[in-house]
Amino acid sequence: MDIGVYRPGELTGADRAVWTAMQSQAHLLGAPELANPFLSPEFTLAVGRCRRGVRIAVVREEGEPVAFFPFQRTRLGVGRAIGLGLSDAQGLVHRPGFQWDTRELLRACGLAVWEFDHLVEGQKPFEVGARGSFPSPVIDVERGYEAYLTRLRARSPKFTRTTLAKERKLGRDAGEVRYVHDERDPAALSTLIGWKSAQYRRTGRSDRFARPWIIRLVEQLFHTRSASCQGLLSVLYAGGRPVAAHFGLRSERVLACWFPAYDPAYAKFSPGLVLHLRMAEGAAAQGVDYLDLGRGEKEYKNSLKTRDLSVVEGWVTRRHPVALGHSARRAPVRALRNTVVSRPEFFGPADRLLKRMGGLRERNTQG
């Protein structure tokens, strides 16, 4: 393989165009998972403006690009997927049928190890380093919103009936319900970030928006408007007030769901569920094939989904002392976390404990 490694600003317009074309044609060539906007050049470039160590390996055959491998690298040669812990689709974007030698790729990139937690399907050379495989639920709308709603009614009639009834009640009690699929008001984005930050703290989770670079990244992507990646802010209003919102990334065929949240004052109306149904309708109208809800066991995802994709976490290495140290350090942590998340008898108590701790922090802050 002829492999060149570039900083984000060094990637040529011609190379970006080839990368985008590979994603645009992915669904026609049997690799729809490569069409995810988290795998787009725009997402990598946005992360590169917010974080150090972002690099892009371009693999060429006879001078023509055949694959693009974005990654983040430390000075010690530890590599991570772009936006590790934040992005919901990771891997190497490539032409159909392309295969690669993982160790040769790592060596060319100056990496002893490359870690991932949302490796998409079809990345067999990387799958040798898998430490676990997880479902990533999706909502299929390729045949239109009404077809999806018909499937939802057949599979979960009570859930569908209740959610639609709550939307009507929201309109009666709070005022006219209005949905904006592509809201361009930055104030609405700030409102969503505030809701999501409070939700993280309330439930005892780490507040992602306490990190300034993540806010900068989201704001950059909000203003990104390209065929392979655009920031999409969707807002549900009632009586002229925002009651639920979602910010995600959209490519030509995929809407990657990312940051949903709602105003807790309207919780009894399930505005988040109402919002997701409206998002499915809006995405279908724009020709999107599916909404990727992202890895993670959540009741609302199980209620809304039509099927699951599969994502993998783990790491690949080449012979190097840094790789040995990384595996020894990361393996026990990953194994413990996945055991807790995957087993209800562990996850339930842990989740309740986090929420109690979050509630205590909120009360102490307010006091």
pLDDT in tens, 262-319: 999 999 999 999 999 999 999 999 999 999 999 988 999 999 999 999 999 999 999 7
Beta strands 2-6; 54-61: pairing state: antiparallel
Mapped onto helix, strand or coil, the DSSP state of residue 182 is coil
Domain annotation for the chain: domains and CATH numbers: 1-133+310-359 (3.40.630), 135-307 (3.40.630.30)
pTM assigned to the model: 0.88
pLDDT of residue 323: 64
Q: Which residue has the tokens 């530890």?
A: 78
pLDDT in tens, 129-143: 999 999 999 999 999
Phi then psi for residue 256, to 5 deg, are -90, 110
pLDDT in tens, 54-97: 999 999 999 999 999 999 999 889 999 999 999 999 999 999 99
Which amino acid is located at 146 in the chain?
Answer: E
